[in-house]
Amino acid sequence: MFFQRYYLDCLSLASYMIADEQTRKAVVIDPQRDIEIYLEDAKEHGFQIEHVILTHFHADFIAGHIELKKAVGAQIYMGKQAEAEFSFQDLGEGDELILGSVKLSILETPGHTPEGISILVYDLSENPDQPKMILTGDTLFLGDVGRPDLLASIGVTAEELASMLYHSLHDKILTLPDETLVYPAHGAGSMCGKQLSNAAVTTLGEQRKYNYALQPMSKQDFIEMVTTDLPEAPQYFVHDAIMNRKERQTLSETLSASWNAFSLDEVLEMLNNDNQVIDVRSATEFAGAHLKGSINIGLDGRYATWAGSILDKQVPILVIAEDEERIEEAIMRLGRIGFDQVKGFLKDGLNSLKDHPELVSQTKRISAPAFNELDEKTMIVDIRSQSEWEGGHIEGSVNIPLTQLQERIIEIPHDHTVIVHCQGGYRSSIAISLLEKQKYENVLDLVGGYKAWLMTAVT
């Protein structure tokens, strides 16, 4: 049996390829939308990708099932409860997919979503009677379980899904042998759970011991536990869950349509028509000089997650970056979350502004040591999450999480000096750019964020 885990750090996404080395038949589970990595591995090993399985309709990324179907003719499979625009073969409890000496057997495990499935993987040449591993999708994570609230807005309550999740775990997954290897679809950093581990794999026995959600408790206690203290879900999650049900363009088609270089005059006209212009350079580079009205979402961070949380999925997007390689990466990573409305990019990037100083803005920044020396009327805006703020904050600061900034911006006065900070500086640059776009003038970014201030305060 060939088994390969692929991990996409920026989305905390784990996908898998399983193949039989005799028949050369392969299946890909929960693929990312840019599928080249699977095609390259299949070519290298002489495999034919005949099948692609989605464990559920993912909410935090666009899966690559349509891409694999169009690229290599792979058959798409989903759980029996799934409903989609595209054709697929449904998989119910006990259904099997045999590649040769490799067998996949299906468990219906609703809870994170109604159509969720888990996949038991058998290496028949080693042990035909006991699964070697289970691919749990978003039902069971390492250290956590899938959150049940993401579909509350489209007709299924969190309590109903939590009840399903309890039975999926206790009546199915937890009946498997302790030595069964557990491979989930996400790791630490994913918003699909509360406290996911950064480990790649563990055994079911280890999860039975240490996963807080698998400890003995009544179903009602479980429901209450998994439906409280959930992190705020990014706004694009519902969009992606719906888009994963649709027949749609492939990522390559989207990238091709987005590859348009626009002059500065054209970009300014689009900006004046309320198109979204995003500058994907680092916070430091953005602070040094940027196009007035542009929004900073740096590529070297959780770019897709924050772009999906801040940008309007209905409004066209233009990209500013250092070079064409970074432009392509920016557009592709937006495509991973279904933001396909990119119209193009600013030709020559910031070089196009060298003769137009009136169009250039700089971000005011303040160091942690200089922070306490201000004697002006000052408002400190902490744009971290509420839980981060409750864990420790600067006295007198106001907590407006970045995800709420645009709707709560009226709470920030124009006649104050406003100091904005996050934990380390990435999110505060996004916030500063949003405030500047709304004509706030005396706004400063606290360099190094709360971490830098804390070090100064301790010393």
pLDDT digits (tens, 9 = 90+) for 299-329: 998 999 999 999 999 999 999 999 999 999 9
pLDDT at 200 over 90: yes
Closest CA to 327 of 341, 340, 344, 314: 344
Q: Which of 366, 367, 353 is nearest to 289 (CA)?
A: 353
Percent of the chain with pLDDT over 90: 88
Give the pLDDT score at 458.
64
| pLDDT above 80: residue 151 | no
**Which string of DSSP letters, residue by residue, matches 395-441?**
TT-EE--GGGHHHHGGGS-TTSEEEEE-SSSHHHHHHHHHHHHTT--
What is the predicted pLDDT for the residue at 136?
Answer: 98
Q: Given a cut of 70, is residue 165 above it in pLDDT?
A: yes
| Alpha carbons 201 and 147: distance in angstroms, whole number | 20
Residue 227: pLDDT above 80?
yes
Residue 311: Cβ within 10 Å count: 20
Mean pLDDT of 449-457: 88
The per-residue pLDDT of the chain, averaged, comes to: 95
On the 0-12 / 13-18 / 19+ scale of CB atoms within 10 A, 446 is buried
Summarize the confidence of residues 394-413 as an average pLDDT: 95
Contacts of residue 20, defined as CB under 8 A and 6 or more positions apart, other chains included, come to 1, 2, 26, 99, 100, 101, 102
Q: What is the pLDDT of residue 174?
A: 97
Please give the pLDDT value at position 373: 74
Amino acid 230: pLDDT = 85
Give pLDDT tens digits for 347-397: 999 999 999 999 999 999 999 888 877 766 789 999 999 989 999 999 999
Helix (H, G, I), strand (E, B) or coil at 336: coil
Query: For residue 154, what pLDDT band results from cuts at 50, 70 and 90?
Result: low
Overall average pLDDT of the 149-165 stretch: 83
Q: What's the pLDDT at 193? A: 82
Cα→Cα distances 186→37, 70, 162, 201, Å:
18, 25, 19, 11
Output the CA torsion sign for 31, 14, 59, 29. Answer: positive
**Quick one: average pLDDT of 136-163?**
88
- DSSP bridge pairs for 255: none
Distance CA 25, CA 44 (A): 13
pLDDT digits (tens, 9 = 90+) for 98-124: 999 999 999 999 999 999 999 999 999
Tokens 């970074």, residue located? 326
CA distance linking residue 343 with residue 250, whole number of Å: 16
Q: Give the separation between CA 244 and CA 239, rounded to whole angstroms.
A: 9
Residue 305 Cα distances to 87, 133, 190, 310, 335, angstroms: 29, 30, 9, 9, 12
Q: How confident is the model at residue 265 (pLDDT cuts 50, 70, 90)?
A: very high
| Residue-level pLDDT at 376 | 66
Q: Tell me the average pLDDT across 27-37.
A: 98
Residue partners of 392: CB distance under 8 A and separation at least 6: 450, 454
Q: pLDDT class for 455, splitting at 50, 70, 90?
A: confident
Contact between 350 and 74 under an 8 Å Cβ cutoff? The reply is no
Q: Are 388 and 423 in contact (CB under 8 A)?
A: yes
Mean pLDDT of 26-44: 98
Q: Is the pLDDT reported for residue 152 higher than 70? A: no
Residue 190 has what pLDDT? 87
Rounded CA separation 144/136 (Å): 12
